[in-house]
Amino acid sequence: MYKPFDEEQFNQFTRLVNSQDIKGLTWISGYIEGLSQSKSTAIAAEPTTENITPESTKAASQQLTILYGSRTGNGAALAKLAERMATDAGINATVRNMETYPPRSILKEKRVLVIVSTHGEGDPPFQAKAMYDYLHAKRAPELNELEYAVLALGDSSYYHFCKTGKDVDTRLNELGAKRLKEINCSDVDLKASDEQWLKELLNSLKQPSDGSTTLPLNESASISPATVLQPYSKKYPYNAGVLEKINLHGRGSERTTLHIELQADGLKYEPGDSVGILPVNSTTLVNEALSTTGLDGATEVELQGKRIPLKEALLNQLEIGKLNPDVLKKYVQLFPDSKAATHLTDSKTLQEYLYGRDLVDLLSAYPEKLTAQQLVDLLKPLQPRYYSIASSPLAYPGELHLTVALVEYQSNRRTKNGTCTGFLSEVLLENDTVPVFIESNPNFRLPANPSTSIIMIGAGTGIAPFRAFIQERELTPEAGKSWLFFGNRHFETEFLYQTEWQHYLKSGVLTRMDVAFSRDSDQPVYVQHRLLENGKELYDWISEGAHVYICGDMRKMAADVQLALSELLQQYGGLDPEQAQQELDQMQRERRLQLDVY
């Protein structure tokens, strides 16, 4: 794989870029573009026929289709990385998005690399759903002529780790396809082992006598699938200053939702994007873990090739606020006689035990004599938390707003807080910074034509991206109609951004707003009930081409809203349930129905 820098040069380049403000970044990008154009012109003027050899022609004839299906841009970026690696190996690779790839086209393929993520409770992301359903249908074709490999993306913190990739791998084999290499399950981020897997796969695809160079297998993963256009990333976050922090709930509310404004001069984002936040664990929880194990926080441990104090590792580097299947399994492997093994008997028992528990719960209930290094080796890296951005860069240039519901609950006789929400609740306005980076969400965007009507449906903090949408539309000429459905528990204390919505209604930027407050009446009223109450008018908006957006809890709210939309299509469109679901699927494919769910 071609690399313009060695590791030291790359680190120097990254530090230089990250130190610049937006003007500096603009100057650098312009300078590099000018150099690139001048060199491209010079190269174009040179004769190229001498570069065409029988060996290169033969290598180019080797075909590989890289199919990716992912809700975020990670799958696409990883597919492009695999394409570059294939090209370097002399393989003619083509990248295709499962969302637009006709499923029957797989009958024509000879060799396929599948890159696919898992969403929700082990479900395929919508972008991969058509292909997934096609392969798992009763009439799925035999694929005896196909060779394949699967790179599954997932997070082992979840019970259904890489389930979609595993399902596709198993099903392709059942249909007669030949497995080129055992499935690789990538945990959270691309690692050296994942890139090694790709290199080994691509080397195995080449003909022994094709004359092309073998990709080196001893290099560490040095190319992140993150886009080069965004200079800040999980590895190199932007330290955003805290400008404002306000409790959006009224006096007397039992809960807290914070509106947080961050300084973001160095970040580029669009309405619909999310922000990744790198939190630290609470000092209280870290001290509880040390007290429970009897370990000294000053003891040095090895983590990612460095020696650091145990307390620093627990505070800044490792996931301890949420117990996950991977940690429990490792604990039982380390101590086979532990009674903790009883929770691994079946999936239901495991999930029931994990719910609401953290590392201290495990160590307290099933104490064992651990060394500091053993404790560290049990744990997963502390992961970023993602929040929908609640501001438009047009309305608030150089800023980024968040809507954050604080998580606090009682479990196992202890008061617990969400890792990131607890971190954000403690940041101060003076001198504090929050490490952040932008997570692009191309599948949650305002219509390309601003005159198109939009219907926004959100509950709780699901209101955040719609605040950004309306701010953007207020500054967009000839913006179309907009209808907002919002739900929460109580009108008086939990009507988030109430005065802002009243302003937008008065100005006409927001055409209509319907609300549902579930705890203010004898019978709970949710947003899906408001949809059904306004069914005919809502159906007319959709029939006229309005785009529909849903943001909120995936398990309950989003599912109930989609069921209500299906009922509207049946009642006012004359469709049966199967036809209504097909229409909703078609709306998603055409970006007329978009979801941002968690």
Specify the pLDDT at position 19: 53
- Is the pLDDT at 118 greater than 50? The verdict is yes
pLDDT-derived band of residue 28, with 50, 70 and 90 as boundaries? low
Residue 411 and residue 471 in one domain = no
Residues 6+ apart with CB under 8 A from 70: 76, 115, 116, 117, 125, 127, 128, 153
Residue 486 and residue 521 in one domain = yes
- Check if the beta carbon of residue 486 is closer than 8 Å to that of residue 530: no
What are the CA-CA distances from residue 204 to residues 15, 91, 195, 207, 227 (Å)?
A: 37, 11, 14, 8, 28
Specify the pLDDT at position 541: 98
Lowest-pLDDT range, 190-194, 219-223, 301-305? 219-223
Mean pLDDT value across the chain? 87
Model pLDDT for residues 527-562, shown as the tens digit of each residue? 999 999 999 999 999 999 999 999 998 878 999 999
Residues 6+ apart with CB under 8 A from 22: 265, 266
Q: What is the CATH number of the domain that holds 575?
A: 3.40.50.80
Classify residue 503 as exposed, middle or buried by CB count within 10 Å of its CB (0-12, 13-18, 19+).
Answer: middle
Q: What is the CATH number of the domain that holds 332?
A: 1.20.990.10
Tell me which range, 152-156, 343-347, 568-572, is most confidently predicted by mean pLDDT: 568-572
Residue 471 and residue 531 in one domain = yes
- Is the pLDDT at 157 greater than 80? The verdict is no
CA 322 to chain centre: 18
pLDDT-derived band of residue 225, with 50, 70 and 90 as boundaries? very low
Q: Count CB atoms within 10 A of the CB of residue 143.
A: 21
Classify residue 254 as exposed, middle or buried by CB count within 10 Å of its CB (0-12, 13-18, 19+).
Answer: exposed
Interval 261-278 mean pLDDT: 95
Specify the pLDDT at position 598: 83
Residue 389 and residue 359 in one domain = no
Lowest-pLDDT range, 27-31, 153-157, 430-434, 437-441? 27-31
- Is the pLDDT at 591 greater than 90? The verdict is yes
In a domain, 27, yes or no: no
Q: What is the CATH number of the domain that holds 250?
A: 2.40.30.10
Specify the pLDDT at position 214: 58
Model pLDDT for residues 421-471, shown as the tens digit of each residue? 999 999 988 778 999 999 999 899 999 999 999 999 999 999 999 999 999
For every residue of 239-268, DSSP letters joined together read EEEEEEEEE-SPTT-SS-EEEEEEE-TT--
Residue 190 and residue 65 in one domain = yes
H or E segment to which residue 31 belongs: helix 22-44
What are the CA-CA distances from residue 540 to residues 318, 537, 550 (Å)?
A: 51, 5, 18
In a domain, 45, yes or no: no
- Is the pLDDT at 8 greater than 90? The verdict is no
Specify the pLDDT at position 40: 41
pLDDT-derived band of residue 189, with 50, 70 and 90 as boundaries? confident
Specify the pLDDT at position 226: 42
In a domain, 15, yes or no: no
In a domain, 26, yes or no: no
In a domain, 225, yes or no: no
Residues 6+ apart with CB under 8 A from 37: none
Model pLDDT for residues 478-532, shown as the tens digit of each residue? 999 999 999 999 999 999 999 999 999 999 999 999 999 999 998 999 999 999 9
- Check if the beta carbon of residue 169 is closer than 8 Å to that of residue 183: yes
Model pLDDT for residues 363-408, shown as the tens digit of each residue? 999 999 999 999 999 999 999 999 999 999 999 999 999 999 999 9
Which tokens is 367 given?
């104490």
Number of domains in the chain: 4
- Is the pLDDT at 357 greater than 80? The verdict is yes
Interval 152-161 mean pLDDT: 83
Strands 433-439 and 454-459: unpaired
SS3 227: coil
**pTM > 0.85:** no
Of the residues 164, 189, 205, the one at which a domain ends:
205
Residue 275 and residue 243 in one domain = yes
Per-residue burial over 532-550, b = 16 or more CB atoms within 10 Å of its CB, e = otherwise: eebbeebbebbeeebbbbb
Of the residues 326, 359, 378, the one at which a domain ends:
378
CA 358 to chain centre: 23
In a domain, 11, yes or no: no
Residue 337 and residue 479 in one domain = no
Residue 431 and residue 481 in one domain = no
Which tokens is 574 given?
């004359």
Specify the pLDDT at position 29: 53
DSSP state letter for 294: T
Q: What is the CATH number of the domain that holds 199?
A: 3.40.50.360
Model pLDDT for residues 62-115, shown as the tens digit of each residue? 799 999 998 877 788 889 999 999 998 889 999 999 999 999 999 999 999 999
In a domain, 226, yes or no: no
Of the residues 378, 393, 417, the one at which a domain ends:
378
Residue 356 and residue 301 in one domain = yes
Residues 6+ apart with CB under 8 A from 426: none
**What whole-number percentage of the chain has pLDDT above 70?**
86
Q: Which residues form the domain of 59?
A: 53-205
Which tokens is 334 given?
């380390």
Specify the pLDDT at position 222: 42
pLDDT-derived band of residue 4, with 50, 70 and 90 as boundaries? low
In a domain, 349, yes or no: yes
Residue 62 and residue 104 in one domain = yes
Strands 414-417 and 300-303: unpaired
Lowest-pLDDT range, 116-120, 267-271, 385-389? 116-120
Residue 154 and residue 94 in one domain = yes
Residue 492 and residue 406 in one domain = no
